Amino acid sequence: MTVSTAERTASAVRLEQVRKTYGKVRALDGVSWAFPRGGFTAVMGPSGSGKSTFLQCASGLDRPTEGTVRIGDVDLGSLSEARRTRLRRDRIGFVFQAFNLIPSMDVEQNVTLPLRLAGREADREWLAEVVGRVGLGDRLRHRPAELSGGQQQRAALARALITRPEVVFADEPTGALDPRTAREVLRLLRETVDRTGQTLLLVTHDPVAAAWADSVVFLSEGRIVDEMVAPSPAAISARWESL
Ligand SMILES: Nc1ncnc2c1ncn2[C@@H]1O[C@H](COP(=O)(O)OP(=O)(O)OP(=O)(O)O)[C@@H](O)[C@H]1O
Ligand SMILES: [Mg+2]
């Protein structure tokens, strides 16, 4: 299959025939999908269906066993380990279920860490804008232990956005939060996509979380088996039950 340059650059992330095996386990079994630029896509599937493996391969954290992954028009397989790391730092943001904040650092230090790692300066205005957007403008000197779970996840989101990444990957970012706090974080993710045109891929078990996305793709046994566009939580639950 050949893909024209126009098609390729229209998608923020594109997988072609991606397989990932761990010994005899086929965690991803031939995934081909194009994620549109500026889109919010949720990836759902039962435990063990390959969601985290998908996210790691699609984001360049891990290499597939076979197939290609492109971020914009860059084929990750063509990059050295060092250049792949740089591309991740420059163009991708991550949010995880366990917020992964550094306990000894305050909010400002945590949020600006990706910039320091990339050897870039923290622009004060942009920092203020990002922490303001997540509602932590008055918490810059607080350490993670001094924040609620929702505030910690909002700090993690600010950290993911500080580099102005093209694509944000989130793996169960609301899994550790109560429903109300989860809604707050999802609203922020939704606003981010709507306001900035960034692309968001969200892995989740939760039909309510997935319903915030423009479209939901379903993984089962390492393959994408369905897509729903703008589904309701009830429709997602019904499809989920039948997987
Ligand atoms: N590092 C690894 N070594 C061996 N097998 C692995 C490894 N990582 C994942 N697997 C296997 O690959 C399959 C997919 O795992 P993955 O973590 O992607 O599932 P998941 O959909 O994220 O599940 P969950 O919802 O429980 O997080 C599973 O069978 C898992 O046991
Ligand atoms: Mg997982």
What is the 205 CA–ligand 1 centroid distance (Å)? 14
**Does the Cβ of 51 fall within 6 Å of ligand 1?**
yes
Nearest Cα residue to atom 29 of ligand 1 = 48
Higher pLDDT, 133 or 127: 127
- 71: its two tokens: 């971020």
* Beta-bridge partner residues of 143: none
Which pLDDT does position 9 carry in this prediction?
56
**Does the Cβ of 175 fall within 6 Å of ligand 1?**
no
Which pLDDT does position 200 carry in this prediction?
96
> Is the CB of residue 228 less than 8 Å from the CB of residue 43?
no
**Closest-CA residue to 113 (of 61, 159, 167):** 159
Nearest Cα residue to atom 1 of ligand 1 = 22
CA 234 – CA 177 distance, rounded (Å): 21
**Does the Cβ of 27 fall within 6 Å of ligand 1?**
yes
pLDDT in tens, 2-59: 555 555 457 999 999 999 999 999 999 999 999 999 999 999 999 999 999 999 999 9
pLDDT in tens, 164-174: 999 999 999 99
**Closest-CA residue to 159 (of 112, 210, 218):** 112
Local structure of residue 214 (DSSP, 8 states): S
What is the 6 CA–ligand 2 centroid distance (Å)? 33
Q: Which domain holds residue 223?
A: 5-242
pLDDT in tens, 80-103: 999 999 999 999 999 988 889 999
* Span of 1-5, 148-152, 236-240 with lowest mean pLDDT: 1-5
Query: Tell me, what CATH number does 38's domain have?
Result: 3.40.50.300
Which pLDDT does position 181 carry in this prediction?
87
Which pLDDT does position 151 carry in this prediction?
93
What is the 179 CA–ligand 2 centroid distance (Å)? 20
pLDDT in tens, 198-237: 999 999 989 999 999 999 999 999 999 999 999 999 999 9
- The residue to mutate among 51, 203, 223, having the most atoms of ligand 1 within 8 angstroms of its beta carbon, is 51
Nearest Cα residue to atom 2 of ligand 1 = 22
Which pLDDT does position 242 carry in this prediction?
85
Higher pLDDT, 1 or 101: 101
CA 164 – CA 158 distance, rounded (Å): 10
Domains contained in the chain, number: 1
Nearest Cα residue to atom 30 of ligand 1 = 48
Residue 1: pLDDT above 80?
Answer: no
pTM of the model: 0.91
**Does the Cβ of 206 fall within 6 Å of ligand 1?**
no
Local structure of residue 117 (DSSP, 8 states): H
Share of the chain above pLDDT 90, in %: 83
